[in-house]
Amino acid sequence: MQIALVGIGKIALDQHVPSIAASPDWELAATVSRHGTVDGVEAFTDFDAMLAARPDIRVVSLCMPPVPRYDYAAKAIRAARHVMLEKPPGATLSECHALADMAAAQRVSLYATWHSRSADKVQAAKAWLAGKTLRKFTVTWKEDVRRWHPGQEWIWEPGGMGVFDPGINALSIVTEILADPIHVTSALLEVPENRQAPIAAKMAFHHPTAEVAMEFDWRQEGDQTWSIEAECDEGTLALHDGGARMLVDGAETGDETSAALSGEYPRLYARMSELVRAGTSDVDLAPMRHVADAFTLGRRELVAPFTE
């Protein structure tokens, strides 16, 4: 199937383009971007022009920041194109629900992707936790914003989510592997004096049997930390490197050399192919609900200004 990629930035070039190129299901037929292109692929700078010029392209993958994404997705759906959304699927829950309703009315597929759910060991962790009695659950997600989002000012603006841009990856794993639902009970959001969005967050959650706490921080230097640890009556589980590694009772399971993002985006594109062929959608907004609740309940604390 032919697909158009909209928003040719770092994540598109690092993950989307190679995944499409390696897939037997997809052909990258066009790009839309004001600044980036892909060698050998027809390039547009205007989305409306691409939709008009290429009615043969039935699928669109949107990789731009979340705030402008709704307008692009709505145009694509109205043009009867199937739509794949980079995470987070939008700037607000309301617009994501609106897109889901539009897609259903137009009978096109809509896929709200969560790439961290496709990490190597996430499904194994979900299976291990099933049926066990959870007592303590701790998430530590600390990375360096300078390394992963250089010069991307939009992440600090309203709708950019700040540290929840990576933190929502952790939440996407948590909402996949836990059998019991959780919800935010308290949050502390650290906001730089010169920014609109938080650079760090600490949260507590309600769970039927366990103490659940999460800490996100965008100021981490050196080794990056993407870890989830679960203590159960029946043993302990740890996911490291964003779900690429899994330890049970301290012992490594499987291959220890998997890269943190290895395989995630190829699995997303395989899933999108399944959805289009089946004529169905996948729009799970659970991770976004937790972010919205953290902003609603969060106590804001001003911290030192942040500059790259």
pLDDT digit string, tens, across residues 261-274: 458 999 999 999 99
**pLDDT of res. 1:** 97
pLDDT tops 80 at residue 77: yes
Percent of the chain with pLDDT over 70: 97
Question: Among the listed ranges 50-64, 176-190, 249-263, 284-298, which one has the minimum average pLDDT value?
Answer: 249-263
Cis bond upstream, residue 88 (ω within 30): yes
pLDDT of residue 129: 98
Whether 83 has a pLDDT exceeding 50, the answer reads yes
Task: Find the angle CA(168)-CA(171)-CA(174) to the nearest 5 degrees.
Answer: 160
Reading the block at residue 151, the tokens are 């010069």
Among 10, 87, 132, 142, the active-site one is 87
Compute the mean pLDDT over every residue in the chain, rounded to the nearest whole number.
96
Q: Supply the pLDDT for residue 124.
A: 97
Query: What predicted TM-score, i.e. pTM, was given to this entire model?
Result: 0.94
Q: What percent of the chain stands above pLDDT 90?
A: 95
Give residue 66's pLDDT: 94
Q: What's the mean pLDDT in 7-31?
A: 96
Domains of the chain in start order, with CATH, are: 2-112 (3.40.50.720), 116-258+292-303 (3.30.360.10)
87 catalytic per annotation: yes
Q: In what order do the strands lie in the sheet with 299-303?
A: 251-253, 245-248, 235-240, 225-232, 134-142, 211-217, 200-206, 183-192, 299-303
Confidence of residue 255 (pLDDT cuts 50, 70, 90): low
Alpha-helical segments (H) within the chain = 10-11, 17-22, 47-53, 66-78, 93-106, 122-129, 145-148, 164-177, 264-278, 286-297
Residue 253 has pLDDT above 60, yes or no: yes
Q: What is the pLDDT of residues 42-76, one digit of tens each?
A: 999 999 999 999 999 999 999 999 999 999 999 99
pLDDT band of 181, cuts 50, 70, 90:
very high
Where residue 254 falls among pLDDT bands split at 50, 70, 90? confident
pLDDT of amino acid 260 = 47
Q: Which of 229-233's residues contact partners 24+ apart within 8 Å by CB, and which partners?
A: 229/136, 229/137, 229/138, 229/139, 229/140, 230/129, 230/134, 230/136, 230/137, 231/134, 231/135, 231/136, 231/137, 232/129, 232/132, 232/133, 232/134, 232/135, 233/132, 233/133, 233/135
Q: Mind listing the pLDDT tens digit for each residue in 86-143?
A: 999 999 999 999 999 999 999 999 999 999 999 999 999 999 999 999 999 999 999 9
